[in-house]
Amino acid sequence: GAVVSQHPSWVICKSGTSVKIECRSLDFQATTMFWYRQFPKQSLMLMATSNEGSKATYEQGVEKDKFLINHASLTLSTLTVTSAHPEDSSFYICSARDPRQGAREQYFGPGTRLTVT
């Protein structure tokens, strides 16, 4: 199946700093990618839909000024957590749909574990 990668796989940062997480579709072009957040022992929560060449669409309750999303190319979306605080510590996962696949299944990245100290 199609491959989605994320970088970094884990990151530790100090409170107040910003962290950028990359999501890449390695063997297909994705006009739409999705960003999720997952706290320990909880399910994935959809944060936003990243649209290539246009603004991201955020889910209710997600601060767009805190979680900046940029989808500058058909293979790359970035999530920047600005002014990170300990409560932002979480597992961040992206996904993308391979438009070549008629079945519409999504492929997920391996996730990025963010720890804010």
Contacts with another protein, residue ranges (CB under 8 A): 1, 4, 6, 32, 34, 36, 43-46, 49, 91, 93, 95, 97, 103-111, 113
**Least spacing, CB of residue 13 vs another protein, in Å:** 19
**Least spacing, CB of residue 109 vs another protein, in Å:** 5
With contact defined as beta carbons under 8 Å apart, do 64 and 58 qualify?
A: yes
Q: How far, in Å, CA of 58 to CA of 84, rounded?
A: 18
Q: Report the residue number, 57 or 82, with the smaller CB distance to another protein.
A: 57
Q: How far is CA 94 from CA 43, 75, 117, in A?
A: 14, 12, 23
